[in-house]
Amino acid sequence: MCAIFGIFDLQPGDDLAALRQLALELSQRQRHRGPDWSGVYVDAGVILVHERLAIVDPASGAQPLRSRDGHLALAVNGEIYNHREWRAKSDYDFTTGSDCEVINALYQQHGAEFLNKLNGIFAFALWDGDAQRYLIARDPIGVCPLYWGHDGQGRLCVASEMKALVGICADVTPFPPGHVYDSASGELQRYYQRPWRDYAATKGQSPGPGELRKAFEQAVHRQLMTDVPYGVLLSGGLDSSLVAACAARFARERIEDGDRSEAWWPRLHSFAIGLDGSPDLAAAKVVADALGTVHHGFVYTFWEGLDALPEVIRHIETYDVTTIRASTPMYLLARRIKAMGVKMVLSGEGSDEIFGGYLYFHKAPSAEAFHEETVRKIDALHSYDCLRANKSMMAWGVEARVPFLDLEFMEVAMGMDAAHKMVGKRRIEKAVLREAFDGALPESILWRQKEQFSDGVGYGWIDGLKAHAEQAISDREFAAAAARYPFNTPATKEAYLYRRIFEKHFPGEACAATVPGGKSIACSSPAALAWDPAFAAMADPSGRAVRDVHAHALEATA
């Protein structure tokens, strides 16, 4: 992961030297994402800045990436996992070993019609000097963040994080995942559209356990592409444990140009965090012992988490309650990981969205409703779990990769009829995934019930945050919440506290509108609340709010 910043549509009378300096200053706001090197490209119509976190080809992959003839300039935040395949098929004259340079090659060969050939996570800005044309694009799921807007002179600006555009663009907004903007047409277009989005296309489809398992193992293997020390995030839940189990199989060798050799870092390190006595710390230790990873379980205190809240909100750029609860321990863990010299980790995000792993999926009335909710959840990932994992980790220059959201794996997993994913009184959530990996993990882990990360680090974390907010926000202040925040009015004092911190860093209606609204219980979409009338009485988005489902369900959710 890295950071990109760009200014486009420059005019002949623009002061390029002044704009170059401004671009550097704005990009510096997101330099935590790319502490290894900075690069700048200036042409008559564009300024590109890149902050690099060197993961692949650290010796020669500095950006912006230029074509040999100098006509193309590319700034990318991301990883292209199938770059070797396209390198082998291209006659492009590559100048580096960077996986991202294949974007230049494919553009040169196919124009703007190449994006569906990429399997990876990315946000990029590409400048074609010959055609005076630029492309801006974001990966299909939105794993990599990207924002855009216009400055006071109407120039288009893009940045990896919103903080780089605050005070410059009054119309800042997230760039939509799976879309591309082509200056040649002046249109924003969706390039990523899959048949599995429609339930009818999946009905009756049932990949066997072996096919599902193989597809995920291949996804993990692809995403071990790295030239620097790496590890795995291990909460002890099903998803992170499966990632760790697959990574442990491949960690002792690396594959380069089809040849196998001993890995540079043959000892796989795993990382977990929680309050003293947290469920995740205990479960993670069980998994680590079974897999033989070099495990690091870190304990944080409630006050350490509370002290970090303002910086967490500044980094993750949201006021969503569930996201902030879960981002704080992840932010603290990233700092520990960075201190150990690790620059990349694999994480388990995306599984719950694909397989209906959240506890409220027990309430789904039909396979079609179940499937439609998984699609809604995938569409929202860029605002929630992907945002959390990316920005919490990148606050300390650690890249988080997400194998469950590998595009080839998603074709298999989302192409499955949701009837096979359904849960109920006698079937635990994600049973189809658990069955596919029978024997890969200890039984106590393979069949462990879902914990939201903010619950699993220790139930005292959420309870303490609520208690603190009650003290920090007066009844009088909270009574005026609708007047102060008419858009996405906070429903609880905890939500009000986070909104107040967010506003200090990101003032204005446009920034507030980048955060989705609507009521949610246990990470549900608003549409899923109709599944159970009891949802209407709930106010807390914690997984424990789903009574009669979670083993540690809240007694009261008023």
pLDDT at 522: 61
| DSSP state string for 509-557 | HHHHTTS--S--STT--GGGGGG-GGGGG----SGGGSTTTSTT--S--
523 catalytic, yes or no? no
pLDDT at 85 over 80: yes
Res 556: pLDDT: 36
3-193 CATH pick, 3.40.1550.10, 3.40.50.2000, 3.60.20.10, 3.40.50.12780? 3.60.20.10
Fold of 216-545: Rossmann fold (3.40.50)
CATH 3.60.20.10 residue ranges in the chain? 3-193
- Tell me what pLDDT residue 558 has: 33
Query: Vertex 318, ends 394 and 118: CA angle to 5°?
Result: 50
> What pLDDT digit, counting tens, does each position of 376-416 carry?
999 999 999 999 999 999 999 999 999 999 999 999 999 99
For 2-16, 356-370, 421-435, 442-456, which range has the lowest pLDDT when averaged over its residues?
Answer: 442-456
Residue 64: is the preceding peptide bond cis (ω within 30°)? yes
- pLDDT tens digits, one per residue of 262-319: 555 668 999 999 999 998 999 999 999 999 999 999 999 999 999 999 999 999 999 9
Beta strand 179-182 pairing with 173-174: unpaired
Identify any residues that bridge with 254 across adjacent strands, giving them in sequence order: 261
Residue 95 is encoded by which pair of tokens?
Answer: 């100048």
Q: Which two tokens stand for residue 51?
A: 């902050």
Mean pLDDT across 165-170: 98
Q: Say what the pLDDT of residue 459 is.
A: 82
CA–CA separation, 447 and 435 (whole Å)? 9
Radius of gyration for the alpha carbons in the chain, expressed in angstroms and rounded: 23
User: Quick one: which of 344, 32, 350, 336 has its CA closest to 161?
Assistant: 32
Integer Cα distance of 13 and 22 in angstroms? 16
Q: pLDDT digit string (tens) for 132-158?
A: 999 999 999 999 999 999 999 999 999
- Range(s) for CATH 3.40.50.620 in the chain? 216-545
Strand 156-159, strand 147-150: pairing: antiparallel
- Chain mean pLDDT for the chain: 92
553 confidence band (pLDDT: 50, 70, 90) = low
pLDDT score at 449: 85
Among candidate residues 147, 103, 132, 100, the one with its CA nearest the CA of residue 8: 132
Which comes out higher in pLDDT, residue 308 or 362? 308
Q: How many CA atoms lie within 13 A of 141 on its CB side?
A: 31
Residues 6+ apart with CB under 8 A from 491: 519, 539
C-alpha torsion sign, points 529, 530, 531, 534:
positive
pLDDT at residue 463 tops 60: yes
Closest CA to 557 of 541, 543, 542, 540: 540
Please report where in the chains the tokens 């608003």 appear, as a residue. Answer: 526
For the beta carbon of residue 113, count every other beta carbon within 10 angstroms: 12
- What was the pLDDT predicted at 527? 79
Q: How confident is the model at residue 557 (pLDDT cuts 50, 70, 90)?
A: very low
Whether 42 shows a pLDDT value over 90: the answer reads yes
Going by pLDDT thresholds of 50, 70 and 90, the confidence category of residue 555 is: very low
* Inter-residue contact 8 to 156 (CB < 8 Å): yes
Residue 519 has pLDDT above 90, yes or no: no
Catalytic pick among 2, 144, 157, 386: 2
In angstroms, the CA 342 to CA 534 distance is 45
The tally of CA atoms less than 13 A away on the side-chain side of residue 333 is 34
Which is more confidently placed, 257 or 498? 498
pLDDT at 454: 59
Q: Which amino acid is at 466?
A: K
DSSP 2: -
Overall pTM surpassing 0.85 (yes/no): yes
pLDDT at 399: 97
Residue bearing the bigger pLDDT, 69 or 517: 69
Cα distance between residue 539 and residue 475, in whole Å? 18
Q: How confident is the model at residue 537 (pLDDT cuts 50, 70, 90)?
A: low
For 107-141, what is each residue's pLDDT tens digit?
Answer: 999 999 999 999 999 999 999 999 999 999 999 99
Q: Give the residue from 238, 208, 135 showing the smallest Cα distance to 445.
A: 238
Query: Higher-confidence residue: 456 or 268?
Result: 268
Q: Looking at 207-221, 306-320, 424-438, which range is the least confident one?
A: 424-438
Integer CA distances (angstroms), 275 to 130, 233, 238, 303, in order: 56, 16, 20, 11
Return the structure tokens found at 218. 């291949």
